[in-house]
Structure 1
Amino acid sequence: MEKIPTGIKGLDEMLGGGLIPGRTYLVKGGPGAGKTTFAIQFLMEGVRNGENVLYVTLEEPLETLKEDMAKLGFDLGIPKFHGIDATPVTERKHLFAGAFYEEFGESFERLTGAIQEKVELERYLRVAIDPLTMLKLTVKNELEYRKTFIGFLKSLSKLGATVVITSDLRTSDIEEYLTSGVIELRTIEAGGKILRGILVKKFRGSPFDEHIRPYRITDRGIEVYHTENLFIE
């Protein structure tokens, strides 16, 4: 079975080589767990392979993200990295080539439509939406949200894009059922320290490592230690 690397070597070992292309995966975790870093590493791995990639930010402005990711060695100003800034801010200014803006909060359907159009026109093989939690606030009816979300996943699948969606731990039940895989980033306080563990909760179509493995957020991004166990005293 064909798989594509996530850019996080230890996680790829847990997944038996990486993600199955053309499917959508949910990455969930609390504040500071590394969800955005995960999404960027996934996209930059595509860039290294010569792919066009698309990042949709719904919380942190692209300009701020660009500065933060540069500290980890990720240059988001390169031509193959494209962004949609859908953050709830009023000022808009040019950040880097390939970025354009959608007003936040008008409707989930409008933004998903813009993403679909971009993927179809530019042939993006990897897409990251970070975080989906913000989009859910724009849809009051859960049934309407479910219908729109399913349609969105089907359209991206037909276009061949592999999609990573981030969300917090509390509001991602629907997405767990509808996506092809769920990766959870856990943070645990023990003995005055923060322990981090990564868990593959679901991975349709392939066997995977079901253990919680330790990970760290380093100056090179996320590192997963796939041969170690997370111990809590």
Structure 2
Amino acid sequence: MPRTDIGIDGLDSMIQGGVPERTLMVAIGNAGTGKTTFGLQFLDHALSRGESAVYVTLEESHERIVNSATEKGWPYDEYVEDDLLAIVDLDPIEMANSLSSIQSELPGLVRDFGATRLVLDSVSLLEMMYEAQSSRRNEIYDFTRSLKEAGVTTMLTSEASDENPYASRHGIIEYLTDAVFVLQYVRSTDDFRETRLAVEIQKIRDANHSREIKPYDITEEGISVYQQANLF
């Protein structure tokens, strides 16, 4: 089975041999844990090698995404100009009235664009459109299935639950994806003033991976996971 790297130093070392291509992944975390940076870096790994990609954002504008990436040294403006990258910024309010059309059109966009990777930031806003848990589950299931049928390696981002940092806000997406990365704040038991960021791989189907929780930083150049380090 063909495999691919995520494109994040240290994290790829925790995945033995890379994730299978066409994997549907999710990065779960609270605000400030670097979910958007995670997605931008994931796409840059492919774009820098001349591949095509699609970035779908429900939270930021096209301009904000390009600026955030270029600040990290990832030339998203050049990728867009060279027709390697399509950035789709959608209004969540409008999406509530047109989810079915987006669901049907997105796989076509991926195929027509020749994309190898896709990011959707964030799936939590899609989930919030449904009040009933049963409707939410069914619609998100259909949406993720359409992404899998598009045949692209996909990274979703999701807000973590307020009660449990290891679970998504609605507790659905982690069961519908092939791989789950948890980004969280960890506070030292000895010194409550010290807080670090840590990543854990909950699962990757058809791939071996480390079960350890490792610290990471969000730097001017993106996310770096310190595979050889311990939290405290």
TM-score normalised by the shorter chain: which range applies? 0.7 to 0.9
Q: Which moved more, 1:154-163 or 1:129-138?
A: 154-163
Structure 1 pair 142–225 and aligned structure 2 pair: CA distance change class (3 A):
same
User: Could you tell me whether the CA contact under 8 Å between 2:185 and 2:197 is conserved in 1?
Assistant: yes
2:22 is aligned with 1:31? no
SS in 2 for 1:210: coil
Q: Which of 183, 186, 194 is equivalent to 2:184?
A: 186
* Separation (CA, whole Å) in 1 of partners of 2:106 and 2:132: 22
User: Does structure 2 conserve the Cα–Cα contact (< 8 Å) formed by 1:109 and 1:148?
Assistant: no
Percent identity of paired positions between Structure 1 and Structure 2: 30
- For 1:174, the equivalent position in structure 2 comes to 172
> Is contact 2:127–2:136 with CA below 8 Å preserved after alignment?
yes
Summarize the Cα distance change of 1:58–1:81 in structure 2 as closer, same or farther, 3 Å threshold: same
Q: TM-score, normalised by structure 1?
A: 0.86
- SS of 2:115's equivalent in the other structure is coil
In 1: Cα distance, 2:36 partner to 2:61 partner: 12
Query: How far 1:88 sits from its partner (Å)?
Result: 5.0
Q: Give the equivalent residue in structure 2 for 1:85.
A: 89
Tell whether the 8 Å contact from 1:62 to 1:83 is kept in structure 2 after alignment.
yes
Shift of 1:172: 4.4
Of 96, 110, 124, the match for 2:115: 124
Q: Return the alpha-carbon distance in structure 2 between the equivalents of residues 153 and 134 of structure 1.
A: 14
Report which stretch shifted further, 147-156 or 54-63: 147-156
CA distance in 2, matches of 1:28, 1:107: 26
What code does the residue aligned with 1:224 have?
V
Counterpart-to-counterpart distance in 2, 1:216 and 1:188 = 12
Is contact 2:118-2:154 (8 Å) kept?
Answer: yes
- Displacement of 1:33 after TM fit? 0.2
What does residue range 47-66 of structure 1 map to in structure 2 within 5 Å?
Answer: 47-66=47-66
Q: Is the 8 A contact 1:88 1:105 kept in 2?
A: yes
CA contact (8 A) 2:26 2:158 kept: yes
Q: Cα deviations across residues 157-198 of structure 1 (Å, max 9, x unaligned)?
A: 233201100001111411111110110001134442330100
Query: Counterparts of 2:63 and 2:40 in 1: how far apart (Å)?
Result: 14
- The one-letter amino acid paired with 2:186 is I
Given the alignment of the two structures, is residue 196 of structure 1 paired with residue 197 of structure 2, yes or no? yes
* Aligned counterparts, 1:131-146, within 5 A: 131-146=122-137
Letter in 1 for 2:102: L
* Distance in 2 between residues matched to 1:88 and 1:179, nearest whole Å: 22
- The size of the alignment, in residue pairs, is 218
Under a length normalisation based on structure 2, what TM-score does the superposition of the two structures give? Answer: 0.87
Residue 169 to residue 40, structure 1, CA distance change in 2 (3 Å): same
